[in-house]
Structures are given as C-alpha cells and as structure tokens.
Structure 1
Amino acid sequence: MLTKTSNDHNQTSPRFILHIDLDAFFASVEEVNHPELKGKPIVVGADPKQGKGRGVISTCNYEARKFGLRSAMPISHAWKLCPQATYLAVNMPLYEEVSKRIINILKPFADKLEQVSIDEAFLDISHKVADLKEATTFAKKIKSIILDRESLTCSIGIGPNKLVAKIASDYRKPNGLIIISKDDAKKFLAPLNVEKLGGIGSKTKERLNSIGIKTINDLASYDIKKLKDIFGAWGEEFHRMAYGIDESEIIEEWIPKSFSREYTFDQDTSNYDELKFMVDKLCEEVTLEAIENGFSFRTITVKIRYENFETHTHSKTLPFPTSSIETLKNTSMILLGPFLRSDRKIRLLGIRASNLNEKAHQKTLEG
C-alpha cells in the first residue's frame, strides 16, 4: 500500500526524472571509514570463516569485483576467489546514518523525492530545470556536493520517467552520468537485454527468450496481441515499457507491506531447542520493528530452507490484528511444525509479519 503526500505533477509539462544510485554503497562507506583500505578489495557481508562461513556477500567494492565477486554470492565461494580481500560485517547503523545525510543533501534539489532503498532515490526535478542542458549541470552539482561532503561517488540517470532514469543510472557505473531525452528513450533501450526492464525477472526472461525475445527492441517489435495472450495484462505493460513509456509518479512516502527477519545457521540443524530459540529471537525483532513503526499485523509467515536449498513457506492469517510477541512466537512454532523432521536439517529460518494495520486497535490472541 502506498501513500502520496503531494499533488501529481502536471502531465502536460516536460518531465525530468533523476535516479541516483550510490556506488557500492556499503563497501564505499567502509572505505571512507577506513582510508587504509583504499584501492584494496573490500567485501561486506557474512563472516567467511576461512572459507567455511555461511551466508552471502551483501556488497563489495569494484576492486573486489575484478576477482569475480558480486552481491549475493556465497561467502565461502568469495573466499576461494579472493582470500586477500578485507571482509567486514554489515554495519547498518553507520550506513543508515550516511544515507540520511545524503537524502538531506538531495531534498533541496527535488520537487518530489522518493527514497527507493538505503542507497537509491528518484528525484522529480521537472520544475528545477528547463532542458537537458540544465539537467546535466544540475546532476553534476549533486555529484560534486556528495563527493565533497561524504567522499562518495554516485551514478545518475536522467530521463522522461522513472523507468528510463533507473536504467540510465546503471548504464555507466561507477560514477556515471547519462541523460536520455523522451525522443531518444526507445533508441536507448532497444539494444539492452530484456531483463533490464523492471518487473522482468529470471522466469519471465526465460519465457520471453523462448519466443525469441532477447532484447528490448525484440519486445517492442513483437505482436502486442500475442504478448497479451501469453502474459495477460502484463504483456501490454511490457510492450509499453519497451517503448520507454512509464507514467508512474514519484511516491514521497512508502507504507511498508511487511516486517521480516531471516537467519542462516552456522551449521545445518534439526535440533528443536536451537530452532525454537531462533524463532523466539526473530519474532522479538519483527514485533519490535512493527511496534516502533506503529503497526499491528494479521498474517504470519514462516520460511525455512533445508540443507539442499529446498525452500518452503507456511502462513496463517489471524482473525484480528495483533502486535503480541507471544502470539507471533506461538503461531510461528505451529507453522514450523510440519517442517521439523529428524532426517532433514534446516539451513535458514525466517519470520514475516504482513497484512499490516497502521495504528489499529490491537487485540492479543493467546495460544
């Protein structure tokens, strides 16, 4: 559920949407914090434990990427590829503080600002600039101020909408700047792989590839009726995106859809006491976050991943919203029950609270 906190931009006026993406953010912040690491490979994520660690890379700097490392890579594999890297634990309080400072830098530059994640944001600058030349100068000033104040680089894409701006910001990383006019949007997108379009994941990519669509130009040229027959309403949306059409607005305030926590065990386990301890811990963290943000919840989901990476989820929707830790704990253990097998060990455990109610009257359900 989303809430807009300002009026929509007049669609008859030219739109200038800027997307900013901080380069290798976590690792770059660590490099600023530890100048002695500058120019060396840095990996932020799970403890590699000399190649025996569990978990994945959260992010790594561009020096580490030269060795083939990337986000979401198993940390044990990263160690094999680059044992000489500096491996650091995620320091979220530090990254959040730097992110807040950067958002405060960006706010005066925007008619409207949408923070997409800790290191990404969209800015509607339609009333701040008159043409692409001014937009270029505008973006260079933003990059200069962030570099001067925070010693961080960023990549910026500017386009007629969010779709084109985001793809443009990723086009020439790191420290890139790409400006795409409305007239050039389709031409810019045409040679790119079809999965560059938002909403096209690995499974949809496979289906598109199977019918001969590999590039965005292939998608734009494909018969729209056939696309709708295969993908339903999404087929028409994919076709519009391939032409660089996106009318989505800048959303200045996001209301969260869920709160969740996951934990990867150091060693796969089927031990009931160990699993219950972690369920309790995750439930406490999820409930605390929900309460701090003024929400109760109705739907509870447990996620497990077995040692062979087979993954399952099990959910239950309560009759009333709640923010009771005990309710979340008890319900989670009931949902976990069918997955507890002595012959199968669990690698990962997750708890999610969703179907949120903001500042709702909360009833506590026992049992």
Structure 2
Amino acid sequence: MIPYGRQEVTEDDIEAVVEVLRSNLITQGPVAPRFEEAVRDYCRASHAVAVSSGTAGLHLACHAMGLGPGDWLWTSPITFVASANCGLYCGADVDFVDIDPATRNMSVEALKHKLEQAETEGQLPKVVVPVHFAGLSCDMAAIRELADRYGFWVLEDAAHAFGGEYRGEPVGACRFSDAAVFSFHPVKNITTGEGGMVTTRRLELATRIERLRSHGITREPAHMIREPDGPWYYEQGELGLNYRLTDIQAALGLSQLQRLDTFIQARRNGAVRYSRLLADLPLILPGESSNSHSAWHLYVVELGGTDPQAIRREVFEALREQGWGVNVHYIPVHWQPDYARECRKLPAAEAYYSRALTIPLFPGLTEGQQEAFAVDLSQAIHQARPVGTA
C-alpha cells in the first residue's frame, strides 16, 4: 500500500547511525548538541533544545512557561491531541479556537472575539498554541499583536512545518512567538524515528527546558543551592522528566537535515502537480497564503458536492482497496471523549472534518503514482453514493 506519508532513509543516514553505535557514547554524547546547533542555525533561532518527541517539546515548553492548575491553554481543534494534551499534563484547563476555513489554521478573528469575551469573564488564556496545520504557518504577526494586548504566551505547534516559511523567515525563527516545537516522527519532513526540537529566542526559557528534559537536574554551580562537594556533584532543583533525545536519533536527524530543502522542494512539486491533476474534480484543494510557504507535510482535500460526508467513507474505502493509504486529519479534538464533557460548537472545524481526506504526498512519490491516484480518486468520487442508498 502506498501511504499518505513515509520517511526516506539512505545509506548515508544508516552510516551516520552506525557510527554512533560504534562509538563509546550512544545516548548523551556530542551528536545531539550538534543537531541542536544545526536546527538552530537552519531556523535562525537563538536556541534549540532537542527532546524525545514533539509531544515532549509541547509539554516541556508549557511547563517552562509556568502553565498550571487554574490556567487556561487554548489551541486549534484541528490537530493531533498532543496540542491540547500538553495543557492537561500541566493541570491546566483547555479550550479551543475555531479555524479559518481557507487555511485550516486557527482563525485570528475567532481568537480575537474569544479573547474579548474571556477578558470580561476573567478567564484569559496563559498559553495559546497555534497549530501550523499541514505545514502552513498561522498568521503569527496577528497572533503576536493579540498576545501583547492580552498578555499570553505564544507556543507554535510547528510539528508539521519544519522547512516552511513565514514572512521570509523559516518557521521556528520565533520572531512572533515565545517558542516553537517541531516533530521528527517518521511521516514528518525529516525523521529521527521519534524525536522533536524546541526553538526559542528566550535564553531563560531554553535554559529551563534543558533542565526539565533531564529530571530537573543541573550540574552548573551557578544554578545550585549548595556549594558542590566535587566535580561529580549535581542537584535536582525542581521535578523534571526524562525527555532527552539520544545521539543515535540525533545522528539520523543531522544526516536527514542535509536533505531537508530537497525534501521540501519535492513536496512542493507534488503539491503543484496535484493542483493540476485534481483541478476538475469536485474538491476543495489546499493552498498557501500570501505571506507563507507551506512545508507541505500533508496534502488534504475536501470533498465537494451536496453531501460530502455521506460519500467520504465510500471514497476512503474504495481508495484503500486499490492500495492507496489515504487518511483523515484530524477528528476534532473537542469531540474526543476526554474533552467532550463540555459542549462546544466549532462550526468551521466541524464542517472541515466532514469533508477532509488526506491523500499521499511524500518525496518518494512519483509523478506516475500521482497520475494513477488522480484517476482512482476521480473514479471513486463518481461511483460513490451515500451509505444506505440504492
């Protein structure tokens, strides 16, 4: 089956990992710091902290921002659950801001309206997590303006957007946010197997995230309460976690990073090809905004017609039967049982979900495969009929 996304691992990647395995240090050695420096430089950020997953990065960043019980975190409902769970991990309450149908990202207008209402109720968020869905950056300048007005932290969930651009800078530069978090899961634009990275321009935030990812322990005398007993001495200043990235994973990421621009160009070429191949089908196709270049982590179409939700399952199953690993990103988080205890209506997110279908896009996908998929998708759409009809 041809999946919606997958990694591309070369012999150079394998050799980089083997080199670490043959060394004396396979966990906390010199390679992870080199990977951090490379990502920091690529993103034009001031600091980069490697972590064990994108989820870990979101959790650590929220913790470092002081999110806790009695606080609110707001995020998008069209995302993976980790974007919201990071708030629950810290004991905070979580709420959602509806999306802009054109970008599938957090709607600035909806955010503005929700903030105005929350201010009157005394329930402003402490952290807002805009999600760069499918690789397209949110309107970060507009969100930053609101953050300055209402006093909340801005944490970019950039799990989909490594290699994307906003206003001429790489996503992760953090010009309009306090921190950004990337994921290096195998379906992402580069992979470390599992792994992630937090970028920021704030030294104090980076320092605390570094400490928290390793049990809250420091070996720096300047951060200690007691005078060290000797060079072996360390202190746990606060309760942290074990969220480190190993040198084995970092070696793969460092090798993959050398091909990131090539990967992104291949994804962009594939997206342009789809825009041509699918132009005549009853679909809403994804695009880019005037100030952003998407990293094209996902290519999500929306089925058109009078009742797209009624035919989506039939289209989905027909394509799966023909060997296409289509998927749906995402079930709205506010519909998940763990979040559905409160009744929320987010009409744009719910309308998007009823039509959404993720189709294959990754660097190794060939032009011929895209052409064949377009034919099969067209046939599946035209043969589909709502469940229960004759």
Asked if these proteins are the same fold (TM beyond 0.5), I'd say no
The TM-score, its normalising length taken from structure 2, stands at 0.22
Structure number with greater Rg is: 1
Which structure ranks higher in relative contact order (CA pairs < 8 Å, sequence separation ≥ 6)?
A: 2
